[in-house]
Structure 1
């Protein structure tokens, strides 16, 4: 995996392309966040679609969309381009700790953790990390995914058997930061942007 994939620009582009732009049309809009609400409900429910949880996720994702639109849709056209998203992250997240992030962004990150924590034990273990990463990654070698997971872990993480919510939040904040020499660059697995 090329080191150029771990630059700040590539990491933010990865989030837009592989995590937020659900319909793959090249920009973010309300539909992406509606789709994320349904996806989160079904994944968390392991196939079940609880109407109550769907409504909760819809509320959360609409709040995230509204907050993101306020800070990133600079031309107010109802679409957020990758460049607009980068500028919003630069203004609201870079150089800040997780607790200083916008409220809706924190809610999304916490929901993402719950989705990754398939067995609901409060820790993302290697199997859960693999399951999440492989949905976005084209690879024929699980070792690259495992290496990314192991690169994230400090001694406390190893003792816990993986990433707790607090550690995931800290890593997410570091992922959005400018440093390329930080284990957080592997938070979503090895980043494959198709430009290796």
Structure 2
């Protein structure tokens, strides 16, 4: 695995460890989903429920791939060893979570997410605001809006792309 992917996976691990206890577990996914849903005021919404369900699905897929000792917790080594497998199945295991996150941030269902909504969701998952704004700027089109396809392309690249020249996807969760 390239050094760039190692850096991205380390960043991803730190975000997924929502409670900061050094391991990833089901409660981290519940906590992160709750933060995101509350940040956009979607506690009772269908979009919020869909996002929470996709967070649970992502946890299950990750646990099946990474929890080699069966203790219900994924440490950094287990994560690093398994995340590539999960990434190879991005469209079915991870992609639905990013799609649900996009819908959650797209308040008016117009197919576009503006910077404020994007930053709100990213900061809710733990990305510092000073990184979330530039991440949006690197992803959005010249009109200052982000489409689902732009997000999905960047998210897929974040998990799989190890070409240092393709900085757009590398900045999804802030500078490495």
TM-score range, shorter chain: 0.7 to 0.9
Shift in CA distance, 115/86, structure 1 to aligned 2, threshold 3 Å: farther
Tell me the matched-pair count: 170
2: CA distance, partners of 1:54 / 1:113: 11
**Unpaired runs of 5+ in structure 2?**
none
Q: Do residues 166 (structure 1) and 157 (structure 2) align?
A: no
Shift in CA distance, 15/119, structure 1 to aligned 2, threshold 3 Å: farther
Shift in CA distance, 8/123, structure 1 to aligned 2, threshold 3 Å: same
TM-score, normalised by the number of residues in structure 1: 0.70
Q: Give how far 1:119 is off.
A: 5.2
2: CA distance, partners of 1:15 / 1:35: 15
State how 1:153-192 maps to structure 2 within 5 Å: 153=140, 157-159=141-143, 161-177=144-160, 178-182=162-166, 183-191=168-176
Equivalence for 1:106 = 95
TM-score, normalised by the number of residues in structure 2: 0.77
Listed one character per residue, the Cα deviations across residues 94-127 of structure 1 (whole Å, up to 9, x for unaligned) are xx5xxx4263422221122234445543223333
State whether residues 47 and 103 of structure 2, in contact with CA within 8 Å, keep that contact through their aligned partners in structure 1. no
2: CA distance, partners of 1:167 / 1:8: 20
**Unpaired runs of 5+ in structure 1?**
1-5, 192-196
2: CA distance, partners of 1:133 / 1:55: 18
- Of 52, 56, 60, 2:54 maps to 60
User: What RMSD in Å do the two structures reach over aligned CA positions?
Assistant: 2.9
Shift in CA distance, 124/29, structure 1 to aligned 2, threshold 3 Å: same
